[in-house]
Amino acid sequence: MHTSSIPMRLTLLAFCCSMGSPAWAATAAASQQDGPMVLGETDISADKADPHALPPVYAGGQVARGGQLGVLGNADIMDVPFTMTSYTEQLIEDQQAEDIGDVLLNDASVRQSSGYANASKIFVIRGLKLTTDDISYNGLYGVLPRQIISTDALERVEVFKGPNAFINGVTPTGSGIGGGVNLQPKRAQDTPTRRFTTDISSDGRIGEHLDLGQRFGEGNRFGARLNLSQREGETGVEDEEHRSKLFALGLDYRGDNFRLSGDFAYQKQRINQSRNTVFVGSGLTRVPH
């Protein structure tokens, strides 16, 4: 009986020794941390967003993260409780969009219709009409052509869906209740712009577009952006001819505490032998015999 208890006592002694080792190690570590703890340096830096700069673009460059929201200024779409899609100059070039109607075809909430007895375009946002008279240019109403608006001098086409009058103010003719469209003109970039493009469409309709931009002066504070374009020829409709000319000059000054910009543009559109649109009046309740 006495010989069988010796291994048990040795086992208990070994277990007690193993339990004491971690306790001694913890005591030794605590004694080493009695002094002050020194942490390494941590650098935190951030760039203040420029309230006048256009919001950055997503990957691919065709859609931006935000746009101009009236009284809210340039805002990120993630920071406002409204819906906006901002199409960029890159999308206009990739899709060869000639007017804003070609750009708005990308938005499922926007439909395009024809004007009354003319070649103008009317847009329907969320089922409510928006005329070209009520499209803003850099946030300002009443300065755009009434029928067809070229994209050659535009940097962004911003589509707002929601309470347009609350954000951007009441439109001149009262349309745009379900949303609005704002056009941002091209500005000179930090890197020079030198671009000349040609295109041909439909039945031999040929076009040329020249885009020049440059910043100069101390700190590149002054900028100029010039766009010239012309297209002429027959369209896909037999005997219909479409001629367009555009001149646009954008000037801006970027100071430390002062900014100034101005836009000078001229556009002429001429369509010969166009097809008129026939509308059915609301008073017609049945098909006449």
Residue 206 belongs to a domain: yes
Distance between CA atoms of residues 168 and 141, nearest Å: 10
What's the pTM?
0.78
Which token pair is 283? 């008073």
Residue 230 belongs to a domain: yes
138 and 74 within one domain: yes
Choosing from 136, 155, 185, the residue where a domain stops is 185
Tell me what percent of the residues of the chain surpass a pLDDT of 70: 83
163 and 239 within one domain: no
| CA dist 219 → 49, 51, 190, 254, 255 (Å) | 19, 19, 10, 9, 9
Choosing from 165, 185, 205, the residue where a domain stops is 185
165 and 214 within one domain: no
131 and 237 within one domain: no
pLDDT (average), residues 235-253? 91
155-193 core/surface letters (b: 16 or more CB in 10 A; e: else) = bbbbbbbbebeebbeebeeebbbbbbbbbbbbbbeeeee
pLDDT at 279: 67
Using pLDDT thresholds of 50, 70 and 90, give the confidence band for residue 10: low
Count how many domains the chain has: 2
Question: What strand order describes the sheet that includes 193-201?
Answer: 193-201, 203-216, 222-234, 241-254, 259-272
202 and 157 within one domain: no
Range of the domain at 126: 63-185
Mean of all residue pLDDT scores within the chain: 85
Angle, alpha carbons 21-27-33 (nearest 5°)? 140
Using pLDDT thresholds of 50, 70 and 90, give the confidence band for residue 11: low
Residue 160 is classified by DSSP as E
Residue 175 belongs to a domain: yes
In angstroms, the first-to-last Cα distance of the chain is: 123
253 and 169 within one domain: no
Q: Quick one: 151 exposed, middle or buried, by C-beta within 10 A (0-12, 13-18, 19+)?
A: buried
pLDDT at 273 over 60: yes
Residue 22 belongs to a domain: no
Pairwise pLDDT comparison (120 vs 149), residue with the higher score: 149
pLDDT at 20: 47
Which token pair is 142? 């009443």
239 and 222 within one domain: yes
154 and 102 within one domain: yes
Q: What is the pLDDT of residues 188-201, one digit of tens each?
A: 999 999 999 999 98
Choosing from 185, 210, 240, the residue where a domain stops is 185
Residue 55 belongs to a domain: no
Residue 208 belongs to a domain: yes
Distance between CA atoms of residues 118 and 274, nearest Å: 9
